[in-house]
């Protein structure tokens, strides 16, 4: 069998920690043949470290050598590079968020459709063990009523990279971290259509100099993005979602969860539990030994993408689903700016 030829564009933190090691574990199906990063010395170091044969000084030349690429650049370049890759006939796994906004996301989907190539967004939370069993259990809780989503980090603004730069990332805690939990909740809810979004975003805390921060330091003067966000989303099936995310919350500890209360029962993802009436009383069930290992989830994501490119599997993270997340993110930011609800 011919192996899939993979290129990596952007060879920083997530490429080295997650994507490259995952593809190396799938060596019977995929071979990393080339890398590109605007920081050429970094690309060369990474190629040497992982024994990747080609280093290019532009991504167009790389696209000629590969069947698929994994895009791990700052968010601003996701759409441009994805579209160029698809137009060159190359499948794309692009890091989350899909793009800076939904307009870009639509163009990416259009390019994938025209080229008849795969486009997937790296929403790896779908591949955690908890979320995999939760997806099965979601079939048993009946119509969803109210979903609560929290993506809360206690004082952990990423102090590296460009995460606090609005021009390069498009936003902060919501577009970077909240997006994962929004994607996960929509997937568990079986992709309801959002009707109306109300949101508020804040960056007051991160504007104060010398903040205590557990993930390195950041410059409050150049911090341009949200550090806290809240939102309320109504869907066309009359269910609703209460959303909170933060990089810098003043709370007891980090708290990440999705919980759904449905007509026949309820579901909690972290930790995994279900709640159902049985024999006249409410019961709670759990599943033992679920592994919340994000690197393993990254491996399963890589496996699904590679196997989908080879025609052996169906993509789990589809671009139309990522576009819905992006539309909601746009609407939350717009609602916060205008002070009005946004109808979608």
Ligand X SMILES: NC(=O)c1ccc[n+]([C@@H]2O[C@H](COP(=O)([O-])OP(=O)(O)OC[C@H]3O[C@@H](n4cnc5c(N)ncnc54)[C@H](O)[C@@H]3O)[C@@H](O)[C@H]2O)c1
Contacting residue, 7, 12, 171, 172, with ligand X by CB under 6 A:
12
Which range, of 35-43, 134-142, 187-195, 317-325, touches ligand X by CB under 6 A? 35-43
Tell whether residue 77 is a contact of ligand X (CB under 6 A).
yes
Contacts 24+ apart (CB under 8 A), 270-276: 270/130, 271/130, 272/130, 272/133, 272/134, 272/137, 274/137, 274/140, 274/141, 276/140, 276/141
Provide, rounded to whole angstroms, the least separation between the CB of residue 306 and ligand X: 17
Which range, of 67-75, 83-91, 126-134, 247-255, touches ligand X by CB under 6 A? 67-75
Contacting residue, 20, 56, 74, 173, with ligand X by CB under 6 A:
74
Which range, of 70-78, 100-108, 227-235, 326-334, touches ligand X by CB under 6 A? 70-78
The label of the residue with tokens 């971290």 reads 177
The DSSP code for 115 is H
Provide, rounded to whole angstroms, the least separation between the CB of residue 41 and ligand X: 10
Apex 38 CA angle, 34 and 41, nearest 5: 75
**Spatial contact of 188 and 319, defined as CB atoms under 8 Å apart:** no
**Which CB sits closer to ligand X, 82 or 336?**
82
Alpha-carbon span 23 to 73, nearest angstrom: 18
Tell whether residue 73 is a contact of ligand X (CB under 6 A).
yes
Alpha-carbon span 128 to 269, nearest angstrom: 10
The torsion defined by the Cα of 49, 54, 57 and 59, in degrees rounded to 10, comes to -110
Tell whether residue 10 is a contact of ligand X (CB under 6 A).
yes
Contacting residue, 8, 35, 72, 189, with ligand X by CB under 6 A:
72
Provide, rounded to whole angstroms, the least separation between the CB of residue 161 and ligand X: 3
Contacting residue, 3, 5, 42, 165, with ligand X by CB under 6 A:
42
**Which CB sits closer to ligand X, 150 or 239?**
150
- Report the candidate in 187, 197, 239 with the shortest Cα–Cα distance to residue 327: 197
Which range, of 3-11, 146-154, 209-217, 326-334, touches ligand X by CB under 6 A? 3-11
Alpha-carbon span 73 to 11, nearest angstrom: 8
**Spatial contact of 322 and 122, defined as CB atoms under 8 Å apart:** no
Provide, rounded to whole angstroms, the least separation between the CB of residue 237 and ligand X: 29
Which range, of 11-19, 110-118, 190-198, 244-252, touches ligand X by CB under 6 A? 11-19
- Report the candidate in 4, 2, 3, 23 with the shortest Cα–Cα distance to residue 91: 4
Which range, of 13-21, 85-93, 194-202, 280-288, touches ligand X by CB under 6 A? 13-21
- Using Cβ positions, the residue closest to ligand X within the complex turns out to be 12
Site for ligand X in 125-184 (CB under 6 A): 161, 176
Tell whether residue 124 is a contact of ligand X (CB under 6 A).
yes
Q: Which two tokens stand for residue 75?
A: 């968010």
Contacting residue, 4, 6, 37, 262, with ligand X by CB under 6 A:
37
Provide, rounded to whole angstroms, the least separation between the CB of residue 37 and ligand X: 4
Provide, rounded to whole angstroms, the least separation between the CB of residue 61 and ligand X: 13
Structural element, H or E, at residue 102: helix 102-115
The DSSP code for 205 is G
Alpha-carbon span 50 to 55, nearest angstrom: 12
Q: Which residues bind ligand X (CB under 6 A)?
A: 9-15, 36-39, 42, 72-75, 77, 95-96, 122, 124, 161, 176
């Amino acid at each position: 069998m011919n192996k899939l030829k993979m290129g990596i564009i952007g060879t920083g933190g997530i490429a080295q920690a997650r994507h490259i090691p995952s593809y190396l574990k799938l060596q019977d199906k995929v071979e990393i043949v080339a890398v590109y990063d605007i920081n050429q010395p970094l690309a060369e170091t990474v190629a040497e470290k992982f024994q990747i044969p080609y280093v290019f000084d532009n991504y167009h030349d790389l696209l000629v050598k590969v069947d698929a690429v994994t895009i791990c650049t700052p968010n601003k370049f996701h759409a441009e590079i994805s579209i160029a890759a698809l137009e060159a006939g190359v499948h794309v796994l692009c890091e989350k968020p899909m793009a800076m906004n939904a307009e870009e996301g639509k163009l990416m989907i259009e390019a994938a459709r025209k080229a008849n190539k795969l486009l997937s967004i790296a929403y790896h939370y779908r591949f955690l063990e908890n979320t995999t069993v939760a997806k099965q259990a979601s079939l048993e809780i009946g119509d969803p009523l109210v979903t609560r989503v929290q993506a809360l980090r206690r004082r952990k603004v990423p102090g590296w990279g460009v995460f606090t730069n609005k021009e390069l990332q498009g936003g902060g805690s919501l577009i970077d971290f909240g997006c994962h939990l929004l994607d996960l909740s929509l997937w568990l809810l079986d992709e309801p259509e959002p009707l109306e979004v109300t949101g508020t975003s804040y960056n007051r805390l991160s504007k104060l100099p010398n903040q205590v921060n557990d993930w390195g330091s950041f410059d409050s003067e150049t911090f341009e993005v949200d550090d806290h966000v809240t939102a309320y989303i109504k869907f066309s099936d009359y269910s609703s979602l209460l959303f909170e995310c933060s990089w810098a919350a003043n709370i007891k500890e980090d708290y990440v969860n999705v919980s759904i209360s449905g007509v026949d029962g309820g579901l909690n993802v972290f930790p995994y539990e279900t709640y159902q009436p049985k024999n006249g009383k409410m019961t709670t069930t759990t599943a033992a030994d679920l592994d919340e290992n994000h690197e393993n989830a990254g491996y399963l994501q890589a496996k699904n993408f590679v196997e989908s490119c080879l025609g052996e599997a169906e993509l789990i993270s589809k671009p139309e689903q990522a576009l819905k997340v992006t539309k909601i993110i746009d609407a939350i930011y717009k609602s916060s700016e205008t002070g009005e609800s946004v109808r979608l």
